[in-house]
Amino acid sequence: RYGPVFRTSIVGHPIIVSTDPELNSLVFKQGADSWFKPWYTDSFSEIIGSESLMFHEGFLHKYIRGLVRERFGPDSLKSLLVDLEGRTRSHLGSWSVLPSVDLKEAVSVMLHGFAVEKLYSFSDPEMIRGHKQSYDAFLRGLISFPLNIPGTAYWKCLQGRKWAVKTIKKLMEERTESPRMGERDYLDFVMEEIDSSESPLTEKMATDLLFLLPFAAFESTSSTIVSAFHYLTAHPAALAELTREHEGILKRREESGSGGISWREYKSMTFTHMVTNETLRLTNIVPGIFRKVMKDVEVKGYLIPAGWTVMVYPTAAHLNPSVYDDPLSFNPWRWEGQKVNSGSENFMAFGGGSRFCSGAEFVKLCMAIFFHHLVTKYRWDVVKGGEPVRYPGLIYKDGFNVNIFEKHQHQK
């Protein structure tokens, strides 16, 4: 009854759940004649924004992906590396003088602050704090029952979005009235696109894009970093190998007299990238990927009716014992000699096809910088919590409080 492809119902919608690599690969092929189109509930569309990147196809989807890569693609990340490293060093240093920190919240705050600085040039602490709180409310109600009554999680989620969008629109109005002089940020770039006669970007599309990007930048990235921290703490051999890699990089840099992390060094962090992939494989940040069936499709003897929805379930692929030996174990060495920078039918942490996550490189870069400074300069102890639950992203119900201290210091 429940083989690799089976049917069920989710919130009243007929769903085909697929754990089959061949069907998953077919679903991710997003050409103009694709049988499968992105699908989300009406309430999710209202929360995310109906003109968000997630809802567009074809030319518009490709165009907006290009806008995202303008800030989070490899070429842009090279220019952001120094600032990202500086922020990481500063936050780790500030955490090391505290009795303990809630790691998930601390990393989220760090990455959110970096994102809104580079996107909007936010600098006022109160503004940044209020902006982060609006996204916290947004996350808590992201997959809640769509009951728009004051006090419900869904209502709070919509209020969080409303506050964030209001802030974005106010910023856009201010930039229109008084264009900034000097260094341009991402908001300047987007507004130039809106004004360009050759651009299809509308104000609504821009607003939804500017709303989604900070959330995408800090939430999934912080979950990945904290999950890796959790696994490495529980697996000393992997932590020791990661430390050896980064101490070797640090030693060579000191001998050459160079400064911070270079892009070449980042790309050379082989074991770090293996840790990232293994963390993503086990963590499964995205629990399901939905596609609407546009016409009857027959695959491997299965007839999938038009109008139904297919849910690709990455967890099944990532924990498949015929592909991954001892799949529940954290084993970064399983990625040795394999391509660790792309997706496949057996590894879908960043989606696949034309909808492969535009921010994948950003996640990997944040991981590399964070652990480079963590393992070469600090030690830590878990004070409390650390067991994740999904709601809908990863949260730590009892927190994840850690005591971080410099290597030459005694435990606080």
Strand order in the sheet with 400-406: 101-102, 400-406, 378-385
Q: For residue 93, what are its two tokens?
A: 């240093």
Look at residues 396, 398, 391 and name the one whose alpha carbon lies nearest to residue 139: 391
State the Cα–Cα distance between residues 3 and 1, nearest whole angstrom.
Answer: 6
Tokens encoding 283: 């963590």
Cis ω on the peptide bond leading into residue 150 (within 30° of 0)? Answer: no
DSSP 308-349: -EEEE-HHHHHT-TTTSSSTTS--GGGGTTS--SS-BTTB-T
Spatial neighbors of 410 by CB under 8 A, at least 6 apart, are none
Do 236 and 332 meet the contact criterion of CB atoms below 8 Å apart? no
Q: Using an 8 Å Cβ cutoff, are 135 and 164 in contact?
A: yes
Length of the chain in residues, anyone?
A: 412
| Residue 357 counted as an annotated binding residue | yes
- Is the Cβ–Cβ distance between 230 and 388 less than 8 Å? yes
Binding annotation: 357
Binding annotation for heme: 357
